[in-house]
């Protein structure tokens, strides 16, 4: 039977209602609440969750939503092997029927390598009100960047309602990220790990204009967008180097092929070093020689596409500089997806417990109440 994992930081009464409703609707499902260092002021709230039938795992300090989720996944791995996990927020913004629906979809094919995503519509909430502006804009920008980076479309990249099969809990625990960026990192890494994303429409609920959310619009948005923005910055730097070298070599030689090759060799070296050390440093590290060979193969393919596009645009009467800009814009998302999925990808491990996370109820950094299941 599945375990419903609820990360909670300074929760309101909605968290207790979520636990109580779940235990009533699905008494055979376990509920695990992770107290993400809320402090003693919230002891009574978590005591109410225990009384409602939840197990509570307490982290001594606030570490972020990603860390809380990974601590919960590690605990399920250690104490309920074989149990799939449904991650659900405890702020009342996931309807009971939707949590149950995600769990039932997950159980339909428990052995499938897929993550079930409860996906919201951002046109309007389920009661007919407008979705808060920051949520509409944030989700829209993230969807666009995600599609540009991965060439796949996910209707709701920031949903907290997800179903994870038991066989993928170890993998999910190794995905980097401690705070809100963790959930996007899971989606970014799923495709290259051969894991499908299975969207399931759910109700769109925002209570009191999402006032219960602990999401910090500036700081946490930067964390979420960091992997994509870092790559775009690296690509911009490489573009500037590549373009300047192309224009100089074209002026000196008058040969487009020589100019394109010379410029790309110059910029590719810089791009490889920057991406390996800064952009994809959070990945499982692949050997430099292996990454260099893969990068050379990718760069050769992109170089051929670059030359063909420049030639076609030139034949259409477009000047070299605007043709170069259009060509790079067309290829940047392909380059990101290929580097993440191929160049800097090391073999993933799916055995054992997530690194750095508690593996048993006796881990010194956590407190677990096991009186209620």
Place of tokens 């893969």: 294
| Domain final position from 194, 215, 236 | 215
Which of these, 20, 335, 350, 361, lies nearest to 149 by C-alpha position?
335
Tokens of 203: 């109700």
Separation between Cα atoms, residue 284 and residue 168, nearest integer Å:
17
Sign for the pseudo-dihedral over CA of 121, 126, 127, 128: positive
351 pLDDT band, cuts 50/70/90, is very low
Mean pLDDT along residues 52-81? 95
Residues 104, 8, single domain; the answer is yes
Q: What percent of the chain has pLDDT over 70?
A: 72
CB 352 within 8 A of CB 294: no
Q: Tell whether pTM > 0.85.
A: no
Residues 46, 163, single domain; the answer is yes
Paired sense of beta strands 162-164 and 3-8, if any: unpaired
Task: Write out pLDDT tens, residues 225-267.
Answer: 666 666 566 667 777 888 888 888 888 888 888 888 888 788 7
Residues 81, 188, single domain; the answer is yes
Residues 22, 145, single domain; the answer is yes
Q: Domain tally for the chain?
A: 2
Q: Which of 73-82, 103-112, 362-371 has the lowest mean pLDDT?
A: 362-371
pLDDT for 326 beyond 80: yes
Residues 59, 196, single domain; the answer is yes
Residues 181, 271, single domain; the answer is no
Q: Which of 39-43, 256-260, 292-296, 356-360 has the lowest mean pLDDT?
A: 356-360
Residues 83, 131, single domain; the answer is yes
CATH code assigned at 58: 3.90.550.10
Paired sense of beta strands 85-87 and 162-164, if any: antiparallel
| Domain final position from 187, 215, 243 | 215
**151: domain range?**
3-215
Domain contains 269: yes
Mean pLDDT along residues 317-340? 78
Residues 186, 266, single domain; the answer is no
Task: Please compute Rg for the chain using Cα positions.
Answer: 24
């Amino acid at each position: 039977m599945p375990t419903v994992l609820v990360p909670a930081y300074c929760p309101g009464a909605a968290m207790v209602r979520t636990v109580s409703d779940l235990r009533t609707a699905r008494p055979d499902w376990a509920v695990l609440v992770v107290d993400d260092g809320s402090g003693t002021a919230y002891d009574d709230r978590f005591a109410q969750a225990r009384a409602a039938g939840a197990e509570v795992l307490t982290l001594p300090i606030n570490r972020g939503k990603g860390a809380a989720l990974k601590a919960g996944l590690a605990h399920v791995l250690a104490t309920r092997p074989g149990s799939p996990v449904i991650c659900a927020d405890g702020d009342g913004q996931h309807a009971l029927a939707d949590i149950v629906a995600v769990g039932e979809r997950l159980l339909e094919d428990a052995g499938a390598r897929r993550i079930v995503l409860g996906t919201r519509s951002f046109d309007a909430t389920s009661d007919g009100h407008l979705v808060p502006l920051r949520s509409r804009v944030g989700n829209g920008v993230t969807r666009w960047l995600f599609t540009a980076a991965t060439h796949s479309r996910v209707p709701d990249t920031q949903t907290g309602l997800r179903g994870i099969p038991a066989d993928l809990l170890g993998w999910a625990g190794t995905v980097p990220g401690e705070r809100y960026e963790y959930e996007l990192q899971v989606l970014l890494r799923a495709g290259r790990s051969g894991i499908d994303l299975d969207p399931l429409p759910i109700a769109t609920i925002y209570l009191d204009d999402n006032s219960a959310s602990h999401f910090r619009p500036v700081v946490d948005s930067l964390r979420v967008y960091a992997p994509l923005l870092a790559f775009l910055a690296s690509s911009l730097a490489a573009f500037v180097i590549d373009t300047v070298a192309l224009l100089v070599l074209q002026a000196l030689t008058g040969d487009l092929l020589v100019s394109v090759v010379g410029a790309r060799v110059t910029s590719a070296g810089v791009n490889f070093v920057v991406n390996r050390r800064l952009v994809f440093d959070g990945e499982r590290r692949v050997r430099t020689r292996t990454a260099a060979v893969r990068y050379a193969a990718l760069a050769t393919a992109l170089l051929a596409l670059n030359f063909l596009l420049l030639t076609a645009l030139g034949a259409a009467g477009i000047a070299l500089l605007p043709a170069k800009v259009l060509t790079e814009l067309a290829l940047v998302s392909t380059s990101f997806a290929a580097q993440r999925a191929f160049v800097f990808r090391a073999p993933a491990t799916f055995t054992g417990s997530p690194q750095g996370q508690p593996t048993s109820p006796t881990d010194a950094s956590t407190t677990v109440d096991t009186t209620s299941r």
